[in-house]
Amino acid sequence: MSTIDWAARAADLRPDGRALIDGRRVEAADGQTFAKHSPIDNRLLGAVVRGQAADIDAAVRAARTAFDDRRWAGKAPAVRKKILQRFSEKILAAKEELALLETLDMGKPIQYALSVDVPSTARCIAWYAEAVDKIYDEIAPTPDSALALITREAMGVIGAIVPWNYPMIMAAWKLGPALAAGNSVVLKPSEKSPYTALRLAELAIEAGIPPGVFNVVPGFGHEAGEALALHMEVDAIGFTGSTRVGRRMLDYAGRSNLKRVYNELGGKSAFLVFDDFKDLGRAARTVAGSMFFNQGESCNAPSRVLVHESVAEEFVGLIAAEAPKYAPGDPLNPATELGALVDETQMKTVLGYIDAGHADGGRCVAGGQRARAETGGFYVEPTVFDGIRNDMKIAREEIFGPVMSIIRFKDEAEALQLANSSSYGLQASVWSDNINRAHRVARALRAGTVHVNQYDEDDITVPFGGYKQSGNGRDKSLHAFDKYTELKTTWIRID
């Protein structure tokens, strides 16, 4: 990796921002585009199709035709498997190009685009491919006079609307199960990170996925996104994004065809450190690494750190010492740990939360400033606030940037009350060397994923999703097939 001159490659890059509908790259029907800039230094990356209802309609029609003529759904599962495996291999073969596009588009460090985003995307596609010819349907217990088959069928046309923080991975979490099950997909990437989705669709076609099965229409949420979520021929929406827009998805479904809506939304995950946990240094390294990974732009970032008052001083000191290791740097430098925030708006939002932390009486023990302004890009230092109360703005709202809040607690009951006092319930973590406490607290935490004495483990094999206003669906694992398949019962009389 160190031998690659990423800056030179970036200078040569001319990404194609046209939509991909029915197997072809196309301009918008009305010819509109928007300018896409890189958050690294605000350079212009190119013009991207600004999809509208007409473009979404063309993509949905292509997807519907492809589904109805069974060019994909009708293939044997083992055949879909082979094609999707090829798709996964092509993603890996294009890893440098895809990683560079991802870094330029949304600002993450190139080392992580290469080591996390590309391989996780490829693994997700391959994993669902490998599963699909190993899943059997069911036969119900019946009397001699009947046979009842319980089968899963592909649902039809799936609309996937995804955010910009892990553009490829979030798309893959929808594409993997939806395509493996035989559906057609129309993907609407975020306007802040459209390029890798478009390249993925090209690679899928090269791998043998028939035209019309996987379409990508870039554009804005209130235009292309809304048109997709309102479309009468879309059977389900797989949405990942903010809770604010997730609410709208339910409204769009209610106003159109009651399409299934699977929302994967925001988080404000609690990280509970008890005084019986001895290795505070490891807990501090873990929480800093997890909080500042991806510039804090992770739905599951452990942004509320709850620590027992008797170990709080020591723990805060350890975290404050960790934070500078994540100093913002040039995302194209392979040594950089923390890159640029996705755009100026996001940077201003994050700086606004830092102001709120000060105004509410928080004590900033690390960071707190914009960084690298001279580059023209949008960087914020890794920031840690001590002395935060759970009712303060920065403890309640998802910041989606590198800002950690530390809250002190007196005992287990208070820790649990604070942890669960959130409208979100995506993830949580409990740190304790007492096995009874670890199990007790893990059970009582209202979150879709609970970590015990770690925060790093993750894999496609386990479900990912939230309680409460963090959403209703589960991405990943075999459970994700539930979202993109219908259950059918077939009763047969036997004479």
Residue 188 near ligand NAD by CB under 6 A: yes
Residue 286 near ligand NAD by CB under 6 A: no
Pick from 109, 167, 218, 241 the residue near ligand NAD by CB under 6 A: 241
Residue 245 near ligand NAD by CB under 6 A: yes
Contact range with ligand NAD by CB under 6 A, out of 85-93, 175-183, 225-233, 408-416: 225-233
Residue 421 near ligand NAD by CB under 6 A: no
Q: What angle do CA 364, 367, 373 make, to 5 degrees?
A: 140
Pick from 87, 164, 274, 292 the residue near ligand NAD by CB under 6 A: 164
How many whole angstroms separate alpha carbon 244 and alpha carbon 232? 23
Active site residue 97: no
The least distance separating ligand NAD from the CB of residue 112, rounded to whole angstroms, comes to: 15
Nearer to ligand NAD, 431 or 464 (CB): 464
Residue 381 near ligand NAD by CB under 6 A: no
Pick from 226, 330, 381, 386 the residue near ligand NAD by CB under 6 A: 226
Contact range with ligand NAD by CB under 6 A, out of 1-9, 163-171, 254-262, 306-314: 163-171
Residue 161 near ligand NAD by CB under 6 A: yes
The least distance separating ligand NAD from the CB of residue 174, rounded to whole angstroms, comes to: 11
Pick from 170, 216, 306, 430 the residue near ligand NAD by CB under 6 A: 170
Active site residue 153: no
The least distance separating ligand NAD from the CB of residue 72, rounded to whole angstroms, comes to: 24
Nearer to ligand NAD, 34 or 220 (CB): 220
Contact range with ligand NAD by CB under 6 A, out of 41-49, 72-80, 97-105, 262-270: 262-270
Q: Which residue in 102, 124, 299, 398 is the catalytic one? A: 299
The least distance separating ligand NAD from the CB of residue 188, rounded to whole angstroms, comes to: 6
**Secondary structure of the chain in HEC code, one letter for each residue:** CCCCCHHHHHHHCCCCCCEEECCEEECCCCCCEEEEECCCCCCEEEEEECCCHHHHHHHHHHHHHHHHCCCCCCCCHHHHHHHHHHHHHHHHHCHHHHHHHHHHHHCCCHHHHHHHHHHHHHHHHHHHHHHCCCCCCEECCCCCCEEEEEEEEECCEEEEECCCCCHHHHHHHHHHHHHHCCCEEEEECCCCCCHHHHHHHHHHHHHCCCCCCEEECCCCHHHHHHHHHHCCCCCEEEEECCHHHHHHHHHHHHHCCCCEEEEECCCCCEEEECCCCCCHHHHHHHHHHHHHHHHHCCCCCCCEEEEEHHHHHHHHHHHHHHHHHHCECCCCCCCCCECCCCCHHHHHHHHHHHHHHHHCCCEEEECCCEECHHHCCCEECCEEEECCCCCCHHHHCCCCCCEEEEEEECCHHHHHHHHHCCCEECEEEEECCCHHHHHHHHHHCCCCEEEECCCCCCCCCCCECCEECCECCCECCHHHHHHHEEEEEEEEECC
Residue 384 near ligand NAD by CB under 6 A: no
* Total residues interacting with ligand NAD, rule: CB under 6 A: 33
Give backbone dihedrals phi and psi of 309, rounded to 5 degrees, phi first.
-60, -30
Q: Which residue in 191, 264, 398, 412 is the catalytic one? A: 264
Nearer to ligand NAD, 286 or 427 (CB): 427
Token output for 237: 């929406």
Pick from 105, 191, 343, 381 the residue near ligand NAD by CB under 6 A: 191
Nearer to ligand NAD, 390 or 470 (CB): 470
- The candidate with the shortest Cα–Cα distance to 255, out of 295, 297, 227, is 227
The least distance separating ligand NAD from the CB of residue 333, rounded to whole angstroms, comes to: 25
Pick from 103, 121, 165, 469 the residue near ligand NAD by CB under 6 A: 165
Contact range with ligand NAD by CB under 6 A, out of 179-187, 237-245, 376-384, 449-457: 237-245
Which residues of this chain interact with ligand NAD, rule CB under 6 A?
A: 161-165, 170, 188, 190-191, 220-222, 225-226, 229, 240-242, 245, 248, 264-267, 299, 398, 400, 426, 464, 466, 470-471, 475
Residues involved in catalysis: 264, 299
